[in-house]
Amino acid sequence: MLVGITGGMGAGKSALAQMLAELGALRVDADEVAREVAAIPAVIEHLQAAFGHDLLGPDGYLNRQELGRRALRSDEARQRLEAIMRPPLSEAIERRLAQAVEEAAGGVVVFDAPLIYEWGNEGNFDRIVVVDAEEEQCVSRVQQRSGLPVCEIRQRLARQMDPQEKKARADFVIDNNKGLAALAAQAKTLWAELVSAAQGRGNYDK
């Protein structure tokens, strides 16, 4: 069974995905795949040509935070970034998910990704889980882990799909406003439901 886990920046989708992995799911992290794709020399060349050769640091790694800032400057810049990254990223994700499903051998694979709905990929999953949190919680979490200015975080959040729309389209909604213990309790309940659905998948048609 292939399960998509999504939500806005700072909502806690990666925390939930990790908890499900600890319970027995096989996890695929979209951000990890994106980092691998962004390290491909041909992709780096295209990104430098579009956004500046100074994006590559002295250590040879792409400054993804600065790339994000430049892509946010305009809709045109964001579209340029997507045009460069989306084709190789989609291919890499498809390969990784196929490998994971084969490896899971009938078990549960969770795919942790922010843009499942935005990219129109929800039909590829047996279940979609949306992790939701109040905006102030999301801003605080992102600021603490990234050091980005609050105004920039709010700008990024404003460009994402309305959380209410995501929740309305989800199979499961996880409320992540009350801390890790509450999230862990919901993860256990969700895991039990996913395992049950995977076991009876022969009778399940989404």
Task: Residue 14: give its domain's CATH number.
Answer: 3.40.50.300
> Total domain count for the chain?
1
Two structure tokens written together for 109: 């694979």
What residue numbers bound the domain in which 171 lies? 2-198
C-alpha–C-alpha distance, residues 24 and 192, integer Å: 11
In a domain, 130, yes or no: yes
In a domain, 11, yes or no: yes
In a domain, 206, yes or no: no
Residue whose C-alpha is closest to residue 130's, from 86, 98, 84, 176 = 176
C-alpha–C-alpha distance, residues 102 and 96, integer Å: 10
What mean pLDDT is predicted for residues 157-184? Answer: 95
Two structure tokens written together for 155: 């700008």
How does pLDDT run across 16-66, given as a tens digit for each residue?
999 999 999 999 999 999 999 999 999 999 999 999 999 988 888 899 889
In a domain, 140, yes or no: yes
| Predicted TM-score (pTM) of this structure | 0.89
Two structure tokens written together for 143: 């600021």
